[in-house]
Chain A
């Protein structure tokens, strides 16, 4: 039932650090976060890890386990063999504060730059009428628990720190898609997606979808539809032509 597992955990502060070896007890049914907690309680009381709900709902315990971005609380130990050495490191894309805890303020900054939900001023609370089919797409994106693993895995910023300024990452491009598909949102988001949030950086290699613990189809349902909407706006010659003619008609009035 219970065995000793070999762990390598990245420990350090502010960038400097190394993988430290631990041997630690593992019991049936446990997840990686349990093991990290056992290390805290028995061997390394100051081992820093961020966590909260332990049920995959809050998105706090994002880390990289054997090189893959995972939630510590949702990675069952039974998915590893008993003789395997399990390497746990902090998310690579964000600066490290200590051990497994990273500074994710990039994400909050980007969240702030996405224009908020903008309903028409004529609709009052309580008067909203939306059909289920019309809200379902955006509802899928609202399942997001903001673990930021999609932003962490995205090579646009993971491998190119300098792109952080111009790229909001899958999480917030998806947020734009969510609002753009909202039946009541009146803000114009397509230009912003391309100009300010760097949708064009995305080369749809789908790692965001692969790591999403909520299994949101980020690429297929949010990013590509958003790219298509941007094409409507900016790159579709027919639409462009149509707009030109339409506008000319307007001017004639």
Chain B
């Protein structure tokens, strides 16, 4: 066979540009703000776990719902009056369910992007060099666990339904309460965020190669795809709404907020 490659070129190198990036815009701003936003959520979350003012009739703080503990859940806060976790458990009820919405957000494709960029700086912004010498991605433990996202999604559907149920209860018992409407808005945003999930999109019909043979699933996929395009704004909106709603309920429960239609 004839030789088919040109003279081996001298070992080639990348252009030597000494700086991390030549970007001239404020590329650090987005990761910085993301860092602040996510950190505030973490800080609030820790406080919410410690705090026990989770219920004021008919409002239940979203961080503590569903409230499953016999000891720490007030009567009205229990889901269908049900408290499967017996009296041996005396810690915060939020702790019991934390893993579900927490895991959902932690493994969410959007949140992954945001914390990889803002916390791990991998990369901090496009075309800005990351500070790590090595990179292996989501190929091995622990990051390979990100692949369980869809199970958290199933759980998140349940949580979303429960929050919606909480809002409905509040609406029935206190239709004119500000808290009711805060819970309603929160429930809508949480459910919209949940449904806009990439795993959800995959499950509806993304995994199919023949949409035309499954018209209903295709319609569902189309709907989810539209929501999915808004996954990032929904992630932020629902994060702040759940924090806001949770804080509001606790402040009402503590009596800090107290007016007739609170």
Contact = CB atoms under 8 A, between A and B. Distances in A.
Centre residue among B112, B122, B147, B218 by max chain A CB count within 10 A: B147
A10 B16 CA distance: 9
Contacts of A206: 113
A231 B147 contact: yes
Interface in A202-253: 202-207, 210-211, 220, 224-225, 227-232, 234-236
B123 A14 contact: no
Contacts of A210: 126
B130 A134 contact: no
Given A153-B126, A203-B122, A236 B150 contact: yes
A66 B15 contact: no
A205 B15 contact: no
Nearest to A210: B126
Centre residue among A134, A180, A182, A236 by max chain B CB count within 10 A: A134
Contacts of B126: 68-69, 153, 207, 210-211
A201 B113 CA distance: 13
A15 B13 contact: yes
B14 A224 contact: no
Contacts of B134: 160
Given A133-B211, A228-B199, A205 B123 contact: yes
A198 B210 CA distance: 26
Given A183-B210, A201-B135, A210-B126, A228 B113 contact: no
Interface stretch (B19-27, B69-77, B90-98, B253-261): B19-27
Contacts of A30: none
Centre residue among A68, A156, A180 by max chain B CB count within 10 A: A68
A155 B135 contact: yes
B135 A163 contact: yes
A182 to B, nearest CB: 7
Interface string A122-160: 000000000101100000000000000000010110111
Interface stretch (B55-63, B137-145, B170-178): B137-145
B207 A228 contact: yes
Interface residues of B, number: 51
Given A96-B12, A134-B210, A155-B123, A200 B24 contact: no
A159 B123 CA distance: 9
Contact of A156 (B127, B137, B207): B137
A183 B136 CA distance: 33
A171 to B, nearest CB: 16
Nearest to B13: A15
Interface range for A: 35 or more
B127 A201 contact: no
B130 A159 contact: yes
B198 interface: yes
Contacts of A15: 12-16
Contacts of A235: 144, 147-148
Nearest to A206: B113
Given A15-B15, A201-B135, A231-B147, A133 B212 contact: yes
11 contacts: A12-B15, A16-B16, A64-B127, A66-B22, A66-B24, A90-B15, A159-B123, A207-B127, A229-B207, A235-B147, A236-B150
Interface of B: 9-10, 12-17, 21-25, 109, 112-113, 116-117, 122-123, 126-127, 129-130, 132, 134-139, 143-144, 147-150, 198-199, 201-202, 206-207, 209-212, 218, 228-229, 231
Given A97-B12, A201-B135, 15 more contacts: A14-B12, A14-B13, A67-B23, A67-B127, A69-B126, A89-B22, A96-B15, A133-B211, A158-B127, A160-B134, A202-B137, A205-B117, A220-B231, A228-B202, A228-B206
